[in-house]
Structure 1
């Protein structure tokens, strides 16, 4: 994964979405995260590719922020959200679609423009 040290203008623009929580930048391609330490209190920003399964990208993003292998996560994605419904909703919506949910100790937001944010642990975010 590539580390982003200086947020883009697009990241800054989307830093605060409609309810005051923080959001992600979008795009497609390799998942991108600033750093594991920055994920506490401010979102770690990832991107998923058009051909990539969104559920897999979510698990990879959370495991990266948590610093563990995806198979070491205690919770399975399908225990908190239907991955197929997530995929259909995001893929069939427009770029403004956003779905947020708790996964492990993190708040995950998936955006129709290709962005994923992971904020946490849950006790440290502003929700």
Structure 2
């Protein structure tokens, strides 16, 4: 049983779309920084503590024909990423 399902009925506090030629993890960090009102370089968050960044980037590489989405808890948010390059943050 997943504890992440409630985000389906929630409202995202911040959303973004992956820029062309940008890694998905970069988009996640920039989105988290914007939500926290800090520079991405000053964000004290490590994606690698909850998910393998290289695997996440490869899973949703824009050059591949992929579908689906993944939601992970990170820094007080539930971060949902999709194969379309969308990143949505929900308060956890």
Shorter-chain-normalised TM-score: which range? 0.7 to 0.9
Shift of 1:108: 0.3
Shift of 1:20: 5.1
Aligned-pair RMSD on alpha carbons? Answer: 2.0
Indicate the residue corresponding to 2:59 in structure 1: 89
**So what's the TM-score if we normalise by structure 2?**
0.78
Indicate the residue corresponding to 2:7 in structure 1: 21
User: Which deviations, in whole Å up to 9, do the C-alpha atoms of 1:31-80 show, x marking residues without a partner?
Assistant: xxxxxxxxxx6212210023111111100001101111122222211122
Q: Highest relative contact order (Cα 8 Å, sep 6+), 1 or 2?
A: 2
In structure 2, runs of 5+ residues without a counterpart are: none
SS at match of 1:22: helix
Does structure 2 retain, via aligned residues, the 8 Å contact 1:108–1:117? Answer: yes
Higher relative strand content = 2
In structure 1, runs of 5+ residues without a counterpart are: 1-18, 24-40, 123-127
**So what's the TM-score if we normalise by structure 1?**
0.59
Please identify the structure whose Cα radius of gyration is greater. 1
What is the aligned counterpart of 1:48 among 15, 18, 30? 18
| 2:48 pairs with 1:78 | yes
